[in-house]
Amino acid sequence: MEEVKCECGHVNPPGTLLCESCGKQLAEYENPVTHSGPLLDMRYDGSARRSQTYQKTWVDKVWNFFSSVKVGIWLIVLVLGASAVGTIFTQVEYIPSNVLPEDYYQDEFGVPGEIYYQLGFHDLYGSWWYISLVAALGISLVVASLDRVVPLYRALNVQGITKNTGFMKRQRLFGERVMEKDSSLDTVKQRLEKKRYKVFTEDGNLFAEKGRFSRWGPYVNHVGLIIVLIGAMLRFVPGMHVDETVWLKEGQLSAIPGTGGEYFLKNERFIVESYESGSEKEVFKEAISEAGEGNVAKNFQTDVVLYQRNGQSLPGEEPELKEIKRDSIKVNQPLHFGAFGVYQNSYSTGAMKELKFNLLVKETGKTMGPITVNLDEPETEYDLGEGYNVSILSYLPDFYMNEDGRPDTKSRAPNNPAFVFNMKSPGNPEGETSFVGIQMNLEPNGENKLAMKFAGVETVSQSLLSVKKDLTLWILALGGLIFMIGVCQGMYWNHRRIWLKRENGMVYIAAHTNKNWFTLKKEVEDAVEGTSFPAPWDQKNSEMQTGGVGVGGN
């Protein structure tokens, strides 16, 4: 397509509807949204938008698709709808770590929960289709903004002072009258400048403008939303966002999740303090007695030691650790290091730490042992002497039967430990197999001569800590701030323009704003009051009342 040269001499980009300089109509058009009729649609000042000009290649079609306001609205509706669906039931990252998702949703929410899980809504915000919707919305915002703001910026920057008479007559506020000899622009110019208009004159004609920056408000909104979407998408980049939990038993040392094995945390001591009616104010005694003495936690804290790994370690090798700091983690008083925060989440006072077993010789009733099995790091073999030996062939910390009917574990937490033991004796060096769990002792290969018998349990307090890191917060805050600036920019200021032209013995005046027409009309009337210039008439109201476009004067 070729550039369009107007009779005023200005060369316009292909597809321009109104000359960027004088405003002369260069092509027939009707806006399908506003149906402006005989009045000009000034939303984009008739500038050449790419989506309305190029429609042949596949690039043009993709651009036109994403530049459509309807497509953008539908994408917003779909994202909001999908986000709402994700709040119906608990998302998978917030369910207890010791249960399987398929069991949790079925047990907690019944058939609706099972359907919710099968449809993949349990991990909605991390699903590929939700991320694709958010990405498509971001692309739509970028394309729609560029499609409109670039030509509008160009059109406003090159607009001329002297406008085409036809352009002025098709403005909503317009007036005309026969020119008188004493017509002077000085008074009008001074009055408009007092109202903070930028006033330009040329050959006895006048152009006044103020508040142009308000036209960029919607596009500033788009920039803010795009930054927010970028921040949301960056949460899926490894290292940008961490929200994990870790159980730590008293005395246990564990790598902090999300740190790549660089930082370790040791639970030195766990403390629980409860409210006692005898030591509290009278008003609290009744509530404490109803809940039960010692059942209302006053404070629970984890005294920890933070370690950092020194150098690299080989797989299976104990890392060399350097102590960084000691601290007490309480509710709302987290441990901070680097960009991480470790928060006190919950606790348990009856966690299993060790199980004790005796080896029983069934024929004689003789017992060997006991052996002590550390449930966090069990040994693989235990020598009981006299030729008796027990080895652990398989360990299932959180035993259950899976869908295939096979023994499996729900998690690494020892909530329901089960073992496959191999028991050797002097008379049977190959050993016998036994499957042992809580209130369960199975002999899968037939009756054994040896058996593992439960001999005791040692429990310990454990603390549930939340590990959080978020490098996207400042991006989200920046996007929100820019969005609010755009809202204020577009809501509280108006873009107002006034044109005054003298031609062939007539004086024409026209004005346009993107909102608040009454105030603009009043400003123009005040500017021309007591002069020979006409006051404008609201042609839209005139059209509604008379069925056509009217012109007015003093």
pLDDT in tens, 204-228: 899 999 999 999 999 999 999 999 9
| Predicted local distance difference test score (pLDDT) of residue 439 | 85
pLDDT tens-digit series, residues 348-396:
888 888 999 999 888 888 888 899 999 888 999 999 888 889 999 999 9
| Predicted local distance difference test score (pLDDT) of residue 26 | 86
| Predicted local distance difference test score (pLDDT) of residue 72 | 92
CA angle (185 as vertex; 181, 188 as ends), nearest 5:
125
| Predicted local distance difference test score (pLDDT) of residue 245 | 87
| Predicted local distance difference test score (pLDDT) of residue 343 | 95
| Predicted local distance difference test score (pLDDT) of residue 1 | 66
| Predicted local distance difference test score (pLDDT) of residue 429 | 85
The answer to whether 464 touches 245, Cβ cutoff 8 Å, is: yes
**Residue ranges for the chain with pLDDT beneath 70:** 1, 28-37, 97-98, 181-183, 277-280, 283, 294, 314-316, 542-554
| Predicted local distance difference test score (pLDDT) of residue 530 | 86
| Predicted local distance difference test score (pLDDT) of residue 45 | 86
| Predicted local distance difference test score (pLDDT) of residue 476 | 94
66 in helix, strand or coil?
A: helix
What element of type H or E holds 488?
helix 473-492
Nearest to 345 by CA among 445, 465, 442, 243: 465
Structure tokens at 147: 């499609």
Nearest to 444 by CA among 422, 415, 429: 422
CA–CA distance from 105 to each of 108, 245, 260 (Å)? 5, 20, 31
CA angle (107 as vertex; 104, 113 as ends), nearest 5:
75
